[in-house]
């Protein structure tokens, strides 16, 4: 055997750089389901099923295309259970001259493979639209590493949404002011149901395997309907562009009871496992067959070529130290209810319920409910990242660490965001219908019906005043804090301390 092309679970693209010189006559593919990747954090059953089903469909597609694929199923007695041990077992059996693998999406896995003791070639992953050297050049020229200039750099680099004279389409780079609609009296219009995909025989086999091998893991498998192959992901993309993109921009920060997806694309899973390519997502959104307004198109493009590429660049620039960062000294564990949804705070019960049922919650629930509460409480940032890796079907280390530890928890001290995403219950009240169905009052910080978010918000500002009070983007919160009566603030802080003790008494991890 000449080359053994190792395809990890988040590298499911048959046209990736790992296949550039693939010769079916002398090369083969290796895929492995290994127990260590399924257990190093307790994994949501739906997440496991999504990965295994997508991997098995990829295997079948590759075999259909005439490529030889060696595949380790999870319950094969010969399976050694970890990526390096299993890769070594196959290498010793097949004796390839070298292994080929794309740059993994996880620093830990890259280190394991680099120490494999078998010749291995890592190839740059051109799934990402900003190559490592381009990000390094940008970082040299913009040491502050702010997302907005990076996004403009990418628009120009890729020639996306530009007029012929090189200026931004519509005259502005960013239509965020049109994209912050509040929930309002009656909320956004009814949202069309997203396309769903009934499990085929391969997926049904995987669902049975996950139920058998991981009966006590968190999350639900019932109603599994995720796209698990490329043709389905392309159909899901068409469905989004046709039916939901139009309202995506305006309502992207809104949350509504019983709706985990709303107008979001829900394409992060297929994208992060690479059976959908960002370039084709961009093409479909810019073609815009249903005539979505520019603020929606631009807002979506910014997520794909701005945020997604930015956090990928940040991850590789700052790992491995990034995972250790804890700028705010947060030291509490995740409350147990993050795994069960058993809380009387309606917003958290909804967002966690969506996560348990679907292994998914949309971006604003992740950032401004789930992440926000952990930030205000003072949960260890790495633990929030671990929870993401446990519970979301689209979480990969490169995307989760900068989003959860960096953006959500400000653990990186301001690399991803220049201020913490701190807010009180009033923000959630404005952006959702959750508070109308909650026993707490989002505007109260004291009393039996005081919203825990609001109590903890004032405590957070007071606790971190030395760090944030002079941040120009935090000016108004600190003006309001300064107006608080000293006795009232002392009572708020006592209530916050009691909440922290009570809510973290029962930790899960």
Binding site for ligand SF4 (CB under 6 A): 345-347, 425, 428-429, 434-435, 438, 440, 442, 451-453
Give the list of residues 6+ apart from residue 129 with CB closer than 8 angstroms, or none.
154, 158, 278, 279, 305, 309
Helix H or strand E encompassing 102: strand 98-102
Least distance to ligand SF4 from the beta carbon of 180, Å? 18
268 versus 429: smaller Cβ distance to ligand SF4 = 429
The rounded Cα 334 to chain-centroid distance in angstroms is: 18
Least distance in angstroms from the C-beta of 426 to ligand SF4 = 8
Q: How far is the CB of 99 from ligand SF4 (least distance, A)?
A: 49
Cis before 320? omega within 30: yes
Q: Minimal distance in Å, beta carbon 367 to ligand SF4?
A: 14
- Residue 157 or 430 having the CB closest to ligand SF4: 430
Q: How far is CA 229 from CA 37, 126, 202, 233, 234, in A?
A: 21, 20, 11, 6, 9
**d(C-alpha 400, C-alpha 382), whole Å:** 10
Q: Which is nearer to ligand SF4, 404 or 435 (CB)?
A: 435
Single out the residue of 433, 439, 427 nearest to residue 186, CA to CA.
433
Q: In whole angstroms, how close is the CB of 468 to ligand SF4 at the nearest point?
A: 21
Q: Which residue lies nearer to ligand SF4 by CB, 297 or 347?
A: 347
Shortest CA distance to 266 belongs to which of 287, 296, 236, 242?
236
**CB neighbours of 15 closer than 8 A, spacing ≥ 6?**
none
Nearer residue to ligand SF4 within complex by CB, 161 or 423: 423
Q: CB-wise, 252 or 432, nearer to ligand SF4?
A: 432
Q: Secondary structure of the chain: what % helix, strand, coil (to 5)?
A: 50, 5, 40
The nearest distance, CB 459 to ligand SF4, in angstroms, is: 15
H and E: helices and strands count for the chain: 24, 5
Q: Could you tell me the smallest distance in angstroms from the CB atom of residue 449 to ligand SF4?
A: 9
In terms of CB distance, is 7 or 345 closer to ligand SF4? Answer: 345
Beta bridge partners of 379: 332
């Amino acid at each position: 055997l000449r080359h053994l092309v190792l395809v990890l679970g988040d590298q499911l693209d048959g046209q990736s750089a790992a296949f550039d010189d693939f010769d079916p006559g002398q090369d083969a593919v290796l895929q492995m389901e290994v127990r260590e990747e399924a257990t190093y954090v307790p994994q949501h059953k739906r997440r496991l099923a999504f990965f295994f089903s997508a991997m098995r469909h990829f295997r079948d597609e590759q075999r259909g295309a005439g490529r030889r694929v060696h595949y380790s199923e999870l319950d094969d007695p010969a399976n050694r259970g970890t990526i390096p041990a299993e890769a070594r077992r196959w290498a010793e059996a097949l004796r390839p001259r070298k292994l080929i693998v794309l740059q993994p999406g996880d620093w830990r896995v890259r280190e394991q493979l680099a120490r494999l003791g078998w010749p291995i070639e890592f190839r740059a992953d051109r799934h990402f639209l900003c190559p490592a050297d381009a990000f390094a050049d940008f970082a040299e020229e913009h040491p502050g590493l702010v997302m907005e200039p990076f996004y403009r750099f990418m628009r120009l680099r890729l020639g996306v949404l530009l007029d012929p004279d090189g200026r931004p389409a519509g005259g502005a780079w960013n239509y965020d002011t049109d994209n912050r609609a509040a929930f309002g009296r009656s909320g956004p219009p009814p949202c069309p149901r997203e396309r769903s995909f009934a499990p085929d025989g391969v997926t049904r086999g995987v669902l049975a395997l996950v139920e058998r091998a991981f009966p006590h893991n968190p999350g639900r498998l019932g109603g599994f309907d995720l796209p698990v192959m490329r043709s389905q992901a392309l159909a899901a993309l068409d469905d989004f562009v046709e039916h939901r993109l139009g309202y995506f921009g305006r309502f992207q920060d809104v949350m509504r009871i019983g709706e985990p997806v709303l107008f979001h694309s829900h394409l992060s899973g297929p994208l992060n496992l690479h059976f959908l390519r960002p370039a084709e997502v961009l093409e479909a959104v810019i073609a815009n067959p249903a005539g979505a307004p520019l603020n929606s198109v631009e807002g979506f493009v910014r997520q794909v070529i701005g945020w997604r590429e930015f956090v990928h660049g940040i991850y590789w620039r700052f790992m491995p130290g990034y995972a250790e960062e804890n700028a705010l000294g947060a030291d509490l564990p995740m409350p147990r209810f993050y795994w069960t949804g058993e809380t009387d705070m309606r917003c958290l019960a909804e967002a966690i319920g969506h996560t348990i049922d679907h292994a998914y919650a949309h971006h604003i629930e992740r950032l401004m409910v789930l992440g926000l509460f952990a930030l205000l409480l003072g949960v260890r940032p790495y633990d929030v990242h671990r929870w993401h890796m446990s519970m979301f079907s689209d979480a990969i280390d490169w995307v989760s660490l900068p989003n959860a530890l960096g953006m959500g928890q400000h653990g990186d001290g301001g690399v991803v965001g220049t201020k913490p995403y701190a807010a009180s219950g009033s923000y959630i009240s404005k952006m959702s219908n959750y508070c109308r169905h909650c026993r707490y009052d989002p505007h109260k910080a004291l009393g039996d019906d005081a919203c825990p978010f609001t109590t903890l918000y004032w405590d957070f500002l007071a606790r971190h005043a030395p760090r944030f009070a002079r941040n120009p983007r935090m000016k108004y919160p600190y003006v309001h804090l300064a107006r608080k009566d000293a006795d009232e603030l002392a009572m708020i802080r006592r209530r916050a301390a009691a909440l922290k003790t009570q809510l973290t008494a029962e930790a899960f991890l």
